[in-house]
Amino acid sequence: MQDYRIRVNNKAVDRISVLDRGLQYGDGLFETVAVCKGVPLLWHRHWQRLEQGCQRLGFSVPDQGRLQNEITIITEGVDTGVLKLVVTRGCSHRGYAPDANSACNQIVYLFPWPDWPGKWRQQGVDVRLCATRLGMNTQLAGIKHLNRMEQVLARMEWQDEVAEGLLQDQEDNIIEATSSNLFAVFDNQLYTPDLSRCGVAGVMRAEVMEHASSMKINVNIEKLSLARLQSADEVFLTNSIIGIWPVKRIDSTKYPVGVITKSIQNRLGSAYCEKAL
């Protein structure tokens, strides 16, 4: 495949009106979907989150059939790739009040599969704690909206081989990494931060929680301090593209690639798409 493919509002174009509210205010949502053997993985979960996001932000849900048709078109002949969807509230003139007559804009991108080192999945990744913090707002927490300035600033904090950066909220709770969710293992149980005030409730986070439950591994959703995280038996990161990355180091704290992490990785590998991971 060529470098990337783009379709905007069901047409093979790559430009949008500068009156689009996604551009003017970040007034929209996105999803990042792994495509493996031509199939968008965990589509039902991505669709569900997109639908919930539209409801939370108060704009009309796109037509699922039409969106799936767009995905079929853009993934044609592609085995493995990263599909990105952006849905915005549409266009309007200046001013925060939306135009009631404006239809949503829908953008579908297909990017090549990223070239992360293969060893990251087996041997684990190095992670750092970011200085950038997440603001807290229950109205926006959990959904994958387009207001991502905090993640951009956090990601700009490093240029070296560190794989991810952890973000704390304003009250020193560890919430997530810039583009992945975090799990810690204590006494053979999973712990993942509460995302009711900030953070993105990842599709892979939900998938991991479901697998863990079926494997009789307890999952606890609660506040997580840095000090507690430093004493974890194992730590791993999840998102739709990376699947699961064991964490072998957070700044100066080291972790083993442990049994629980590996068992969930294996479970996910066969259920998800080993080739993509």
x/- letters, 111..150, toward a copy of itself (CB under 8 A): x--x-----------------xxxxxx-xx----xxxxxx
Is residue 92 within 8 Å of residue 19, measured between CB atoms?
Answer: yes
Name which of 161, 105, 95 is nearest 128 in CA terms. Answer: 161
Only one of the segments 2-10, 39-47, 204-212, 261-269 lies at the binding site for a copy of itself (rule: CB under 8 A); that segment is 2-10
| Smallest separation, CB 13 to a copy of itself (Å) | 9
Q: Which H/E stretch holds residue 208? A: helix 203-214
Residue type, 242: I
DSSP string, 45-75: HHHHHHHHHHHHHT-PPPPHHHHHHHHHHHT
Residue 162 binds a copy of itself, judged by CB under 8 A: no
Burial class (CB in 10 A: 0-12, 13-18, 19+), 155: middle
Residue 206 binds a copy of itself, judged by CB under 8 A: no
Residues 66-95 that bind a copy of itself (CB under 8 A): 82, 84, 86, 88-89, 93-95
- Cα 130–133–138 angle (5° rounding)? 140
Residue 195 binds a copy of itself, judged by CB under 8 A: no
Distances (CA, A) of 269 to 42, 197, 264: 13, 31, 8
Instruction: Specify the residue, 50 or 217, whose C-beta has the smaller distance to a copy of itself.
Output: 50
Only one of the segments 8-16, 199-207, 229-237, 246-254 lies at the binding site for a copy of itself (rule: CB under 8 A); that segment is 8-16
| Residues that bind a copy of itself in the complex, under the rule CB under 8 A | 4, 6, 8, 14-27, 30, 32, 57-58, 82, 84, 86, 88-89, 93-98, 107, 109, 111, 114, 132-137, 139-140, 145-156, 170, 178-179, 198
